Structure 1
Amino acid sequence: MTDALLGLAADLSRGDDAAVRRTAADLRERYEGSARAVTASGDARRDLVARVRNAFGELESLASAPRMLRELSPRSIDQLLAAGEDLAARIFSAGLAARAVRSEYVSAPDVIATDGRPGQASPDLAATDRRARTRLRPLLSKGTIPVVPGFLGAGSEGGVVTLGRGGSDLTATLLGRSLAAHSVVLWKDVPGFLTADPRVVPDARVIPQLNVREAAELAYYGAKVLHPRALIPAGRARIFVRPFDRPEEAGTEISSRRTLERYPVKALSAISGQALVTVTGNGMLGVPGIAARTFGALHHEGISVSLISQASSEHSICAGIPEAQADAARKSLLEAFREEVSRREVDGVEVLRGLATISVVGLGMAGTPGIAARVFNALAPAKINVVAIAQGSSELNISFVVEAVRSGEAQRRIHDAFQLSKIGGGRASASEHTDIVLLGFGQVGRTLAGLIASPSRRPRLRLVGVVDRGGYVFRPAGLSSRDVRDLAASKTRARSVAETPRGVAAGDREAIEALAEHALSRPILVDVTAAKTGSVLAQAVASGFDLVLANKRPLS
């Protein structure tokens, strides 16, 4: 809806009367349809539909206004957008009331205080805390659900302003902070934060938990699940990102907790459409203020920098910027260093286009050796050239620049290298051992399991799973010799391994599918059955297992 209203504002400024009337009529119909869908016939529906018609009737009338009245200021655009958000909140509140849920519409300016800047207002946290507690706590104490429009706040002169992109998420976290909520749930059209963009990496999976800093890094570097600003007021509240079409799913928890420290890499993200601008020259060595002047020139043009890389010799400094602003950046930098260029102290400003910035993110990367090596070793076999690298001292992320046409392949290779599609993926380096899964646990299987699990015989082999006709047992850290003895004792009593503690009832194929979801190290499936296991073995190979057969029947 927001994009449609912004489009209407643009059409109005261009004088496209037909487009204004068409968009206003379409939006009116959609809002009216929503109002009718959530309310029964009666006064509540009539009042709601009348409010919708009045709001969009005013918009349609602007198409007939004189040209001078159509030039919309940022404040006027905020008023336009606020009308849509306001109607949506009123319709939602009416829908709750129609289902006998006590609710009350609350105007956003009554609870969200800002600095009053149109289009990109910043919240005043202390004032918002006071307003929200005063207005909302009495309602909550009576069991009434307040319905507050997102994206909006109070202007400096009593009007309304918008909070910019991601403003609805920001509204939610602001109110969660003000009310000292234990958790804030953001309902989205995605299942949560994923280990990568699923359009680029098809086997990306949902991340169960992220630290606030990790989520902010991923959001900044292209993960469009939520805006980084929404995390500013999070405080101690846990934020959950969940899919509205599958509310039973856990989604992603964002909190101050640090989890899975043994698996330091959580995800990767990318920004496409990038360019690198580089200022070079021997006259830059040891000269104070070069970096400040470089970024001052970019700031003057309103250019956001996504990556900075500088040689230790100070001979060059480069910045990653949006490709669309590369020409403006070069012009501004040449002007800033005009005198140095004339004296040949600065060689010039180079621009390299058609790039993408990839960021590998994880709070546990700090102090963990081997991360960078594994990243770049994943790219080397494909001859993917790294144009620039940046890593902060906190090691929260490693960012690097590649050609945009190789970005997708680079992301897939790194994702595979860290096994991020698997449970337990994200280790700093590949394990040196080999994980063994036994298919069958008869006499041969039990003897082999005892040999592998014996402490004196398993420096590079780790038995992690046993599958029989009734189900399977799986231990990611490996089955101990005692575990194997207990399983063997159970089998001598004619019981399946599924009937043992932590055993799972499943068929052969289900068991292999479940085990393949985990980040195993060079997994081998050893078939010690006497059954026709061809389909199970084919599934195992497709899931990345190597095979060892003591069973001839699949080959006959």
Structure 2
Amino acid sequence: MRILSVGDSSLKGPESLEALARLLSARPEACLALSALEGVRDGLLAAAAQAEAGQAGYVEEINRVRERHVGVIQALFPAREQSRVLTPIQILLADLEDILHGVQLVRECSRRTQDLILSLGVRASCLLAVEYLRRHKVEARLAETPGLSWVSKGPGGGRLDYEKSFAALRGLAASAGGLLVVPGGTAVDERGVTVMLRQDGCDLTAALLAAALQAESLELYTERGGVWSADPAFVPEAFVVPELSYQEAMELSYFGARMVHPQALVPAMEPGIPVRVLGLARPEEPGTLICRSPSRVRGLIAGIASIEPVALVNVEGGGMVGVPGIAARLFGALARAAVNIIMISQASSEHSICVVCRQEEAARALSALKAELAAELEARQIQNLESRRDLAIVAVIGERMRGTPGISGRLFSALGREGINILAIAQGSSETNISFVIEKKAEAAALRTVHRAFLGPADSAGERA
């Protein structure tokens, strides 16, 4: 059995559901995790925001969502079937309008209410897909429950209970009697309250299904049709990477490669289920295979990714040298301020530590550190505490870099020849990732330079193949 995940960026309209039906008609032995139609999630969030502000504009947003589904139904179904297909979706949208009216009255939209609103958008697309698949002789059935089990107590407001989720998903699959369609990214907590997963929830749902059912493969359908060697918006000569290891894929994803969130790879990685990143518009193309041991002969790096805009916060002072616990205080203060640290760099002299965070968190980070280090600043043990904005992190990733001499020299020599200044560098002991911080305005030039140096025509055909 194979498991498919189709996110909202791939569910663009009637043509997407037609492609999905062709795909599953040829090989119906599968389970499908599905997201809302493209744009529906944003429309529902806009409706919730307007209702919370007491504005009646949420009704217009719901009407746009309704028109979106009606347009797809009219394009895919003959007139005699349209009313039957539309009726359950109209009921969902009527419930949605009632919920938003309540939000408007109380002027509050809690996380719990927002999750319920978003889940109805996902369920609407699932109802639509099930009906269309049945028209194409695919015995599809919508899961009565989401299958994923959420524990509301835990770090960050809760966590998934993997064992309960696995048991529930096995139960759903066993009773399906055909192709099971599961609302992607939807879970329920101990009280039966709906919880929406925030980060690539549809892919995570599919990965958990794959692990629970010991599937032969997991197929993630994305707009880009694979994992690219670099962002083609910056690097025109970028290409779809044929194969990656799980670790390489997770690193690329973490540093901005738009394919799948690292968390969604973990359930497939542990049992070694191969993951294919494909394009729904062109499913015949091979895309990218993610597995334990990529078999192809590859270049020294697998790909390049970047994150921007980011800010660098630098702490310098002789009072930090040899003082136990100073790093713990810094990171503790940032954690309490809910600042996510993307990268850390520290001089071996212990005279300075710099951390990199999202630019919108920089002011909060600086304020938290000034409060934590107030005594050291007053005593001049810390001489400098400042932030620098409008920066980018570039990450060069590849398992073949491990133990290979000269990689850093080759990398920074190429950047130096192009006059690109490096502000900070970090490399883990695994040697699979070299990250560096540059000015945001140099991001495109840096990506092109690194791609040309390691993945361009200058490399041998054997290393690129």
TM range (shorter): 0.7 to 0.9
List alignment gaps of at least 5 residues for structure 2: 1-39
Shift of 1:208: 0.4
Q: 1:232 aligns with which of 266, 276, 300?
A: 266
Q: Distance in 1 between matches of 2:226 and 2:287?
A: 5
Q: Which residue of 2 aligns with 1:272?
A: 308
Q: Which residue of 2 aligns with 1:32?
A: 70
Q: 2:60 aligns with which of 22, 44, 57?
A: 22
Shift of 1:346: 1.4
Shift of 1:57: 2.8
Q: Distance in 1 between matches of 2:330 and 2:72?
A: 51
| 2:243 and 2:288 in contact (8 A); partners too | yes
Matches within 5 A, 1:227-306: 227-234=261-268, 235-260=271-296, 263-306=299-342
Distance 1:108 1:358, change over 3 A: farther
SS state of the match for residue 195, structure 1? coil
Q: Which amino acid aligns with 1:172?
A: A
Shift of 1:67: 4.4
Distance 1:41 1:71, change over 3 A: same
Distance 1:421 1:179, change over 3 A: farther
| 1:195 and 1:421 in contact (8 A); partners too | no
Q: 1:55 aligns with which of 77, 83, 92?
A: 92
Render the CA deviation track for 1:482-520: whole Å, top value 9, x for unaligned: xxxxxxxxxxxxxxxxxxxxxxxxxxxxxxxxxxxx869
List alignment gaps of at least 5 residues for structure 1: 426-430, 432-475, 478-517, 521-556
Render the CA deviation track for 1:347-378: whole Å, top value 9, x for unaligned: 24111111100000001111111111111011
SS state of the match for residue 17, structure 1? coil
Q: 1:322 aligns with which of 333, 354, 358?
A: 358
Q: Does 1:166 align with 2:211?
A: no
Q: Does 1:206 align with 2:265?
A: no
Shift of 1:182: 1.2
Render the CA deviation track for 1:35-67: whole Å, top value 9, x for unaligned: 34444455x643431222222234445665584
**Which is higher, the Rg of structure 1 or of structure 2?**
1
Q: Distance in 1 between matches of 2:145 and 2:328?
A: 40
SS state of the match for residue 221, structure 2? strand
Q: Distance in 2 between matches of 1:64 and 1:115?
A: 29
SS state of the match for residue 151, structure 2? coil
Q: Which amino acid aligns with 1:229?
A: Q
Render the CA deviation track for 1:71-127: whole Å, top value 9, x for unaligned: 111000000000010111111011111122111111343x21122479986322111
| 2:428 and 2:434 in contact (8 A); partners too | yes
Matches within 5 A, 1:103-122: 103-109=140-146, 111-116=147-152, 122=159
Q: Distance in 1 between matches of 2:101 and 2:228?
A: 47
SS state of the match for residue 407, structure 1? helix
Q: 1:101 aligns with which of 125, 138, 143?
A: 138
Shift of 1:279: 1.1
Q: Distance in 2 between matches of 1:411 and 1:394?
A: 22
How many percent of aligned residue pairs carry the same amino acid? 36
Q: Does 1:149 align with 2:183?
A: yes
TM-score (norm 1): 0.72
Q: Does 1:188 align with 2:227?
A: no
Q: Which amino acid aligns with 2:137?
A: A
Q: 1:388 aligns with which of 415, 419, 424?
A: 424
| 1:306 and 1:321 in contact (8 A); partners too | yes
Q: Which residue of 2 aligns with 1:81?
A: 118
| 1:195 and 1:266 in contact (8 A); partners too | yes
Q: Distance in 1 between matches of 2:400 and 2:91?
A: 55
Shift of 1:259: 3.9
